[in-house]
Amino acid sequence: MPAPPRPTRLGPYDVGVKIGGGGMATIYLGLGARKDALEKLAALKVIKDELVHDEQHVAMFLDEARILSRLAHPHIIRTLEFGVSGQDRFIAMELLLGRPLEDLWQRTADRGKTLDFTVSAWLAARVAEGLHHAHELRDENGTHLQVIHRDVNPSNIFITYTGQVKLIDFGLAKSIRRRAKSAEGIVKGKVPYLSPEQVTEASIDRRSDVYTLGTTLWELTTGKRLFKRKSDVETIMAIRRAEIPDPREANPEYPDALWAIVKRSLAPDRSDRYPTAEAMRADLDKLVKSRLGDAPGKPRAGAVVKRRLEETMNDLFPGERERQLAWLLAATDHTTPPPSHTVRPPAPLPEVEAQRDPPNEPPPPEPGAPREAEVVVAPDALDGGESSSEASAARETQARTTPSAAASKTTLKTARPRAKRTKDEASATSAAKRAKRGSGEAGAGAAASGAGREGRKAGDPDRIAPSRSSGATRVGIALVVALVVALALYAALR
Cβ-Cβ contacts under 8 Å for 483 (sequence gap 6 or more): none
Q: Can you tell me the mean pLDDT for 446-475?
A: 35
How high is the mean pLDDT of the chain?
74
Q: Identify the CATH number of the domain in which residue 21 sits.
A: 3.30.200.20
| pLDDT tier for residue 210 given thresholds of 50, 70 and 90 | very high
Return d(Cα 278, Cα 271) in angstroms, integer.
16
Q: pLDDT, tens digit, for every residue of 258-291?
A: 999 999 999 999 999 999 999 999 999 999 999 9
The residue among 56, 76, 95 that closes a domain is 95
Q: Are residues 111 and 91 in the same domain?
A: no
Tell whether the model's pLDDT for residue 366 goes beyond 50.
no
| pLDDT tier for residue 449 given thresholds of 50, 70 and 90 | very low
Tell whether the model's pLDDT for residue 60 goes beyond 90.
no
6-10, 254-258, 390-394: which range is least confident on average? 390-394
Q: Identify the CATH number of the domain in which residue 221 sits.
A: 1.10.510.10
pLDDT at 238: 95
- The parent domain of residue 407 ranges over 374-469
Return d(Cα 221, Cα 116) in angstroms, integer.
8
Q: Are residues 90 and 103 in the same domain?
A: no
Q: What angle do CA 102, 407, 315 make, to 5 degrees?
A: 25
Return d(Cα 399, Cα 239) in angstroms, integer.
15
Q: Can you tell me the mean pLDDT for 308-336?
A: 88
Please check whether residue 362 lies inside any domain of the structure. Answer: no
Q: Are residues 140 and 274 in the same domain?
A: yes
Q: pLDDT, tens digit, for every residue of 22-40?
A: 777 888 999 887 776 667 8
Taking a C-beta distance cutoff of 8 angstroms, is the pair 346, 408 a contact?
no
Taking a C-beta distance cutoff of 8 angstroms, is the pair 78, 65 a contact?
no
Please check whether residue 212 lies inside any domain of the structure. Answer: yes
Q: What angle do CA 68, 226, 206 make, to 5 degrees?
A: 35
Please check whether residue 350 lies inside any domain of the structure. Answer: no
Q: Are residues 104 and 62 in the same domain?
A: no
Please check whether residue 479 lies inside any domain of the structure. Answer: no
Return d(Cα 460, Cα 480) in angstroms, integer.
25
Please check whether residue 270 lies inside any domain of the structure. Answer: yes
Cβ-Cβ contacts under 8 Å for 103 (sequence gap 6 or more): 317, 348
Q: Are residues 391 and 308 in the same domain?
A: no
Please check whether residue 163 lies inside any domain of the structure. Answer: yes
Residue, of 440 and 234, whose pLDDT is higher: 234
| pLDDT tier for residue 254 given thresholds of 50, 70 and 90 | very high
Grouping H, G, I as helix, E, B as strand and the rest as coil, residue 110 is helix
Please check whether residue 191 lies inside any domain of the structure. Answer: yes
Tell whether the model's pLDDT for residue 373 goes beyond 60.
no
Q: Are residues 42 and 162 in the same domain?
A: no
Return d(Cα 281, Cα 164) in angstroms, integer.
16
Cβ-Cβ contacts under 8 Å for 314 (sequence gap 6 or more): 161, 321
pLDDT at 424: 60
Please check whether residue 302 lies inside any domain of the structure. Answer: yes
Q: Are residues 203 and 222 in the same domain?
A: yes
Q: Are residues 227 and 111 in the same domain?
A: yes
Q: Are residues 147 and 278 in the same domain?
A: yes
CA 440 to chain centre: 17
The residue among 63, 95, 127 that closes a domain is 95
Q: Are residues 312 and 228 in the same domain?
A: yes
Taking a C-beta distance cutoff of 8 angstroms, is the pair 54, 368 a contact?
yes
Tell whether the model's pLDDT for residue 130 goes beyond 80.
yes
Domain total in the chain: 3
Q: Are residues 107 and 77 in the same domain?
A: no
Q: What angle do CA 341, 346, 348 make, to 5 degrees?
A: 95
Task: Tell me which DSSP letter residue 379 carries.
Answer: G
